[in-house]
Amino acid sequence: MSDLSPPPEAVYDPTDPRLRKEQMFPRLSQAMVQRIAAYGEEEDVPAGTVLFQRGQRGSDFFLVLDGLVEVFDVDKDGHPNVITIHAARQFSGEMNLFNTRSILASARAACDSKVVRVRSEQFRRMVAAEADISEIIMRAFILRRVGLIRLGYGGVVLVGPGHSADTLRLERFLVRNGYPHRLIDTEIDPQADGFIECFQLRLEQLPVVICPEHCFLQNPTTSELADELGLTESIDPTHVYDVAVVGAGPAGLAAAVYAASEGLSTIVVEGMAPGGQAGTSSKIENYLGFPTGISGQALAGRAQAQAQKFGARMAISRHATHLDCSVQPYQLKLDDGQAISARAVIVATGARYRKLAVPGYARFEGAGIHYAATAMEGQLCANEEVVVVGGGNSAGQAAVFLSRIAAHVHVLVRSQGLAATMSDYLVQRIAQSAEITLHTRSEIVGLEGDERLRRVTWRHRDTGELTTREISNMFVMIGAEPNTDWLEGCLELDGKGFVLTGRGADGVPLESPFATTKPGIYAVGDVRSGSVKRVASSVGEGSVVVQAVHHYLHPENC
C-alpha cells in the first residue's frame, strides 16, 4: 500500500492532503493523455528501469500509459521505501519539476511499462499552453509536496536541543522553504540518545543534519545546508535577465509572477525563504479572497509556485550584497560570489523588525527571543506564559495565535492602546480574550537566563512599577528598519533608510511612482519610502511595477 494512502478515520484531519487522493494522484482522461503525448516521446521501460533519482536536478515528467511506476526513497540502511505507485493515466513529479533543485525521491518501473517522457523544456511549454492540464498538475504537485512535508519522506533528520538558537535557525529554514524533515529534540525525544550514540556525538556538537544519502552536517550555516540539499540554483554569469527581483516577500513575488507571466526573463534573489515578514504570520485574515484566512507561509508558497510555473528562476538562500548601478546591464553581486546581470532591477527587500535596547538582548536572540510566531515557535510555548512586544498587525496576529497554545499572553506597547496601529478585528479579539493581557505604556527593561531566556522584566513608563515574570519566549515585533544596506549609495534614501521613489533629484515626477533616480531600477513594498505596510498593498505595488518595467525595456511598444 502507498504511504500516501488516506489515513484511518480515527486520525481524521481535514488538513491532511491524503484525504484528497483523487487530486493528489489524478487519473487523466484519454483526451488529456493524447494531448500530453504530443509534447513528449513514448518509451518502453523494462521492470526495474530507474526513471529518475533523488538528488538529480531537472527531472523529466513521466505519464504512465501502461504498467506501474513506483516512487520511493531510501532508508538509513539503504532499503527502498515505496511512497506511492502511479498506474495508467497517472503522472510523476512534484514542485521541483518547476525548477532545477535536487529532487526528493526516486522512481522506477515496477513492471514492464510504457510511459510518455516529457523533457523539461517541453514540460514548461505544455504547462503554459494547456490550461486545464496545468491546473490539474499544479494542484497535484502542491498536494504531493505537502504530503512529503507532513510525513517527512525524502527529507532530512535534524538532531539538536529544541530551544537552541541554531536548532531553531535550521528548522526555521527547512520549514519556510518547504523542505521535508524530522526534528529529534534532544531535550525531550527518547530517540535522541540512540542518534547521539550511533554517531558518537558530543552535546556541544549539536545540532546536526543527517541526510538519507549519508551526508552529515554539524551545525551548518543556512547557505551550507541549502547547498547540500540542492536548494540553490547555479547562475549563468553570461545570461542577461530582463529583470532581477531582489527580495521574495509579497511585493517581490507579485512582481515575479507578473513579469514572468508576461514573458520577461525573471530571476528572484532571496536570502532566507519566500514570504518576507508576511511569511512568518500565523494567519492573515484581511487579505482579499481568503475569508477564512491564510498563513503567511501558505500564501508565499502559492505565490512562489505561480512564479516558477511561469518560468521565474528562484535564487534562494543567497543575499544580495551589492548593486553596481554604474554599468548597464546592472550587476547584482551575491554573498556566494556569483553575479547576476539584468537590464532592470526591482528592489523588494522589505524591512526587518527593530531590536530592543535592553542589556543581554543579543544573548537571547533565537534562544527565547523570536521575530515570528508560527507553529514552529508555538510548540516551544505550550502551557507557558509568553510576551509579545508591539502594537501592529503582526503583533496582534501573534498574540491571538499564541493565546490558543500558551498559558497566557502578555502584550506590551509603549503607547496608550492599539487602535491607532492595529486592525480593529484584532483589537477586539485581544480585548475579548481571557488568555491575553494588554499592558499599555510599558516597556521591557530586563532579561535573565542561562543558555536561554528564563525571566522578563517590564516597567510602566508613567508609574515606574516593575513586573518580573518567569517567561522563556518573547516575540518582538516593533517598527521596521529597511533592508537597504546592500545598495551602498546606489539609490537615494530617505532619513530612515527607505528607498525614495517617484521623483527625480530635481523634484520632477518620474514616469512611475515606483521608479528611483536610476533608470530601470524600481522599489516596491515595505522597502519603499511612503509605502503602506500591508500585504495587499505590497502585492499591488509588485503587480503594477511590471508595467513600468515593460515601458523601460520596450519604449517603442508603449
Do the bridges between strand 521-523 and strand 466-470 make them parallel or antiparallel, or are there none, so unpaired?
unpaired
User: Mean pLDDT for the chain?
Assistant: 92
Q: What is the mean pLDDT of residues 166-194?
A: 90
Q: Cell numbers 498574540 label which residue?
A: 399
Q: Does the CA dihedral 60-66-71-72 come out positive or negative? A: negative
Angle (CA) 445 370 439, round 5°: 45
pLDDT in tens, 60-86: 999 999 999 999 988 766 778 899 999
Greater model confidence, 556 or 515: 515
> Do strands 80-86 and 69-74 pair parallel, antiparallel, or not at all (unpaired)?
antiparallel
Rounded Cα distance between 68 and 110, Å, is 5
Model confidence at 151: pLDDT above 90:
no
Average pLDDT over residues 132-152: 92
* Average pLDDT, integer, range 49-54: 95
Could you tell me which residue, 279 or 90, shows the higher pLDDT?
A: 90
Question: So what's the pLDDT on residue 256?
Answer: 98
Strand partners, 485: none
Instruction: Classify the C-alpha dihedral 408-411-416-419 as positive or negative.
Output: negative
At 10, the pLDDT band (50, 70, 90 cuts) reads very low
Strands 216-218 and 181-185, by their bridges, are: unpaired
- Separation of first and last alpha carbons in the chain: 58
pLDDT for residue 406: 97
Query: What is the distance between the alpha carbons of residues 478 and 279, in angstroms, rounded to a whole number?
Result: 17
List, in order of start, the domains of the chain with CATH numbers.
9-120 (2.60.120.10), 156-228 (3.40.30.10), 240-352+483-557 (3.50.50.60), 362-476 (3.50.50.60)
Least trusted range by pLDDT, from 8-12, 197-201, 338-342, 535-539: 8-12
Checking if the pLDDT of 213 tops 80, the result is: no
Better pLDDT: 163 or 240: 240
CA separation for the pair 49, 45 (Å, rounded): 6
The average pLDDT across 259-273 equals: 95
pLDDT at 57 over 80: yes
Q: What does the alpha-carbon distance between residue 21 and residue 17 come to, in Å, rounded to a whole number?
A: 7
442-449 β-sheet, strand order: 442-449, 453-460, 466-470
Question: Which of 293-302, 398-407, 500-509 has maximum average pLDDT?
Answer: 398-407
pLDDT of residue 5: 57
pLDDT of the residue at 498: 96
Average pLDDT over residues 143-156: 88
pLDDT of residue 1: 37
Mean pLDDT (whole number) for 103-128 = 95
Amino acid of residue 172: R
* φ and ψ of 363, to 5 deg: -65, -30
DSSP 174: H
418-450 tens-digit pLDDT: 999 999 999 999 999 999 999 999 999 999 999
On whether the CB atoms of residues 446 and 361 are closer than 8 A, the answer is no
pLDDT for the residue 37: 97
Single-letter code of the amino acid located at 476: V
